Amino acid sequence: MTKLAIMGAMQEEIDPLLEFFKDYKVINYADNNYYELTYNGLDIVIAHSKIGKVFASLTASTLIQKFSCDTLLFSGVAGAINPALNIGDLIVATKLCQHDLDITAFGHPYGFVPGGKVFVESSKELLALAKKVAEKENLKVIEGTIATGDQFIHSNTTKEFIEKTFKADALEMEGASVAVVCDALNIPFFILRAISDSANMDAGFDFDEFLQSSAKISSNYLIKIVDEL
């Protein structure tokens, strides 16, 4: 690796990282800020994309193609599907899918379009590193499937559809689009999330309440992983 990209979706998801790294140069490009810095001899670019798959794809592509990053780590928050995941718990995606991608009218499975695949897998090497760091730091981290869509889920019915259709453990609004970009451009990546809510009728309230604390939990773990790169 020569240059690391670290991405979040919201400013709140990258603020703890910027506070930790402190010295950075800000570059504005395509209506977004990119924060360039060096840490332990490693070149890093941090950015938040704004919410959703389109903005996240733009930012991931920019980090790779304009800033020449060759590894991408995503840190942020997610809604829990797996009942073993509580607020503040960490999940690293082994694979990701788009729960709102639907051309089933033409006989295709949910989450599939021709030329693509339902699930995109994260880098096995980065997952192994994340696991090693979790063990060293004595952190409980669940490995599982993350489902992404351009919807904030706050209903048990939608959550159950996503759980049944994709066997997903958590859901959010960017991960799978970043995964698709990295997969197409051959860039190793992982998507790390800490739970902010349970995607149920309380989700809006819980998200507002726990966004900052869960973003910090995810960032703290990510920094420990960067220390081992």
At 115, is the secondary structure helix, strand, or coil? coil
Residue 161 CB, shortest distance to ligand ADE, in Å, is: 13
d(CA 212, CA 196): 9
Q: Does 172 bind ligand ADE (CB under 6 A)?
A: yes
Among 13, 169, 183, 197, binds ligand ADE (CB under 6 A): 197
Which one, of 26, 161, 152, 28, lies nearest residue 78 by Cα?
152
Q: Does 153 bind ligand ADE (CB under 6 A)?
A: yes
Q: Which residue's Cβ lies closest to ligand ADE?
A: 79
Catalytic residue (one of 13, 163, 169, 172)? 13
At 116, is the secondary structure helix, strand, or coil? coil
CB of 189 or CB of 210, closer to ligand ADE: 210
| Burial of 86: CB neighbours in 10 Å, binned 0-12, 13-18, 19+ | exposed
Q: Does 89 bind ligand ADE (CB under 6 A)?
A: no
Q: Does 81 bind ligand ADE (CB under 6 A)?
A: no
The H or E element spanning position 207 is helix 203-227
DSSP assigned state of 10? S
DSSP assigned state of 89? -
Catalytic residue (one of 89, 163, 169, 197)? 197
Q: Does 79 bind ligand ADE (CB under 6 A)?
A: yes
Helical ranges in 26-174 per DSSP H: 53-65, 124-137, 156-166
Among 147, 171, 176, 187, binds ligand ADE (CB under 6 A): 171
Catalytic residue status for 31: no
Catalytic residue status for 13: yes
Q: Does 215 bind ligand ADE (CB under 6 A)?
A: no
Contact residues for ligand ADE, defined by CB under 6 A: 77-79, 152-154, 171-173, 196-197, 199, 203, 207
Q: Which residues are catalytic?
A: 13, 197
